[in-house]
Amino acid sequence: MPSHLQETRRRRTFAIVSHPDAGKTTLTEKLLLFGGAIQMAGSVKSRKTSRSATSDWMALEKERGISVTSSVMQFPYEGKIVNLLDTPGHADFSEDTYRVLTAVDSALMVIDCAKGVEERTIKLMEVCRLRDTPIMTFINKLDREGRSPIELLDEVESVLGIACAPLTWPIGMGKRLKGVYHLALDEVHIFEQGKNFTRQDSTIFQGLDAPGLAEKIGAEAMRELREELELVQGAAPSFDIDEYLAGRQTPVFFGSAVNNFGVQLLLDFFVEHAPSPRPRATTTREIQPEEEKLSGFVFKIQANMDPAHRDRVAFMRVCSGTYAAGMKMIQTRTGKEVRIANALTFMASDREIVETAYPGDVIGLHNHGTIAIGDTFTEGENVSFTGIPNFAPELFRRARLRDPLKMKALHKGLAQLSEEGATQFFRPLMSNDLILGAVGVLQFEVVAYRLKDEYNVDASFEPVTVTTARWVHCDDPKKLEEFREKNAMNLALDAAGELVYIAPTRVNLQLAQERWPQVRFAATREHA
Ligand code: GDP
């Protein structure tokens, strides 16, 4: 088999989705430990401490107890290459999360056993649903008193509408936690506090009748386990790979991330069954990962990742072919040819130059304002990957500058930060206002903080009478011109120079739509 094929098939690219505090960061850290990346595990943790070196403005994250950055972590495990795409946890950054989820082949859902299915989990599952993304589930914090496992599975099934196939089953919970039973392997893994639970240093019993097991966990726990298993094995479906790959069934694991308990069982199963890179739709055809020509799309842009570099990085997911340092690619939106000599990979906080990358991998391209979210790169074919949306913002504010001489810097800062996609920047045709749109209030605070920190601009955001925005398209250039003249008061250009209708009220938008049937008002801007 050619190495491109081998490399493609051993890629596992995924993201962890969860409600804040369910344990995503802790689990990420443990997964990285298994990947032999101990120092990386440390740096994930440090995101929540003041030692974070990646960017100064993370001080804001710390104050607010949120994580606003995403990164990409690659590690080898059992002959596979795992790419874990981090997603920001706070609700205000959900757009960013949506786009990260367009770049993965599967997802891992983390649920707190005391809290069950929470609001963010529901939202994120809806996004996974859109693309039938296969999902594995980890029910976390078994070392604490939680809800009964059967009740938790019921909730996942009824609230999230996905069948649960338990792969491990908890033996007790909280102070009574004895271990987990692996249904497929028929093994009991004992929970022993304070140990680092790799397969090598855990106590494993083969089968429920194994000598010594009943003594180890106690007769009461043994009886309870048998009862529950009888119930579960009768009622719950067993794991079905096709159902899982179609996004209709989720294999479920129980454990405790902070104790590293049950995590390796999950990871072993994940690398064996989670999908390798899948085909992707473009404007003209489906591109297969096995194809030899390189293609990929940009799903995320981040400004000033490293304050010392003052740069912007575009994250491109490779969809087919092989990236080799120094190769030429076409940016299909502009038709421009670019030579990529120094793409980056992100081993947590350390950046390294990559020589080669395969489907499923993410590479970082230096961006000088010419790359936009959703851009496709190929070796020549004129196609664009679809399904990477830019949502219409729901909140709008006008930027107000304290020092008028800083206008140019403000403009630059807003434009560059908007490239990241979490906020959008509009310049009305008829005024000198700079209007920022976002999906959450917190984003204005983050932008104000970053403007000061990264661009030395003191700005605040004040209310403006804009309720919603729609990207405007019209096939008839004359009609469009007429529309433009008559509605100039409500029109603006976005950061990419596209025409946008900024409606003062919903009623106004509705009237405009009725009056101009030839004009399309799009709620998302799909970069194509
Ligand atoms: P995130 O917001 O989803 O990234 O959650 P974190 O990984 O930061 O975890 C939130 C809190 O739950 C932290 O205080 C963790 O130490 C704690 N935590 C994570 N996993 C476990 C677990 O298995 N058991 C217990 N008791 N606490 C946990």
Condensed to tens digits (0 to 9), the pLDDT of residues 280-328 reads 999 999 999 999 999 999 998 877 665 555 667 889 999 999 998 889 9
Atom of ligand 1 nearest to the CA of 27: 7
User: What does the mean pLDDT of the chain come to?
Assistant: 86
Q: Which class for 166: exposed (0-12), middle (13-18), buried (19 or more C-beta within 10 A)?
A: buried
Q: How far is the CA of 256 from the centre of ligand 1 (A)?
A: 9
The pLDDT tens digits of the residues spanning 470-507 come to: 999 999 999 999 999 999 999 999 888 889 999 999 89
| Rounded Cα distance, 282 and 288, in Å | 11
Please give the pLDDT value at position 151.
Answer: 96
pLDDT, average across residues 406-429: 89
Tokens of 151: 């009740």
pLDDT, average across residues 456-469: 93
Please give the pLDDT value at position 2.
Answer: 64
Residue 40 has pLDDT above 50, yes or no: no
Q: How far is the CA of 304 from the centre of ligand 1 (A)?
A: 29
Pocket of ligand 1 contains residue 101 by CB under 6 Å: no
What DSSP letter does each residue of 172-203 carry, written as one string?
A: S-GGG--EEEETTTTEEEE--TTS---STTS-
Comparing 23-27, 90-94, 133-137, 241-245, the range with the smallest average pLDDT is 90-94
| Rounded Cα distance, 295 and 313, in Å | 18
- The more confident residue out of 173 and 197 is 173
Atom of ligand 1 nearest to the CA of 26: 7
Nearest CA to ligand 1 atom 11: 21
Q: How far is the CA of 257 from the centre of ligand 1 (A)?
A: 7
Q: How far is the CA of 23 from the centre of ligand 1 (A)?
A: 4
- The more confident residue out of 234 and 182 is 182
Residue 391 has pLDDT above 80, yes or no: no
* Inter-residue contact 374 to 390 (CB < 8 Å): yes
Pocket of ligand 1 contains residue 140 by CB under 6 Å: yes
Atom of ligand 1 nearest to the CA of 140: 23
Please give the pLDDT value at position 370.
Answer: 80
Pocket of ligand 1 contains residue 302 by CB under 6 Å: no
Atom of ligand 1 nearest to the CA of 256: 23
Pocket of ligand 1 contains residue 144 by CB under 6 Å: yes
Atom of ligand 1 nearest to the CA of 28: 7
Pocket of ligand 1 contains residue 28 by CB under 6 Å: no
Q: How far is the CA of 263 from the centre of ligand 1 (A)?
A: 14
The pLDDT tens digits of the residues spanning 61-94 come to: 444 433 334 478 888 899 999 999 987 656 555 6
Atom of ligand 1 nearest to the CA of 19: 3
Q: What is the ipTM of this complex?
A: 0.99
Q: Tell me which of 258, 260, 261, 266 to substitute to probe ligand 1's pocket, judged by most ligand atoms within 8 Å of the beta carbon.
A: 258
At residue 270, what is the residue type? Answer: F
Is 287 strand, coil or helix?
A: strand
Comparing 58-67, 233-242, 337-346, 508-517, the range with the smallest average pLDDT is 58-67
The pLDDT tens digits of the residues spanning 100-146 come to: 999 999 999 999 999 999 988 898 888 888 889 999 999 999 999 99
Nearest CA to ligand 1 atom 26: 141
* Inter-residue contact 190 to 203 (CB < 8 Å): yes
Would strands 106-112 and 135-140 be described as parallel, antiparallel, or unpaired?
parallel
Pocket of ligand 1 contains residue 262 by CB under 6 Å: no
Please give the pLDDT value at position 352.
Answer: 56
- The more confident residue out of 230 and 60 is 230
| Rounded Cα distance, 389 and 372, in Å | 12
Nearest CA to ligand 1 atom 10: 21
State what percent of residues in the chain have pLDDT above 90: 61
Please give the pLDDT value at position 423.
Answer: 86
Please give the pLDDT value at position 388.
Answer: 78
What DSSP letter does each residue of 205-217 carry, written as one string?
A: EESTT-TTHHHHH
Q: Which class for 74: exposed (0-12), middle (13-18), buried (19 or more C-beta within 10 A)?
A: buried
Dihedral angle at the C-alpha atoms of 213, 219, 220, 222, nearest 10 degrees?
40
Comparing 118-122, 164-168, 425-429, the range with the smallest average pLDDT is 118-122
Close Cβ partners of 491 (under 8 Å, ≥ 6 residues apart): 428, 429, 430, 472, 484, 499, 500, 501, 502
Residue 37 has pLDDT above 70, yes or no: no
Q: How far is the CA of 109 from the centre of ligand 1 (A)?
A: 14
> Per-residue confidence at 528, pLDDT binned at 50, 70, 90?
very low
Atom of ligand 1 nearest to the CA of 29: 7
Is 121 strand, coil or helix?
A: helix
What DSSP letter does each residue of 141-180 carry, written as one string?
A: -TTS----HHHHHHHHHHHH--EEEESEEEES-GGG--EE
Please give the pLDDT value at position 302.
Answer: 79
Q: How far is the CA of 129 from the centre of ligand 1 (A)?
A: 26
> Per-residue confidence at 430, pLDDT binned at 50, 70, 90?
very high
Please give the pLDDT value at position 108.
Answer: 97
Is 35 strand, coil or helix?
A: coil
Residue 150 has pLDDT above 80, yes or no: yes
Distances (CA, A) of 269 to 2, 29, 168, 239: 26, 18, 11, 11
Q: How far is the CA of 261 from the centre of ligand 1 (A)?
A: 13
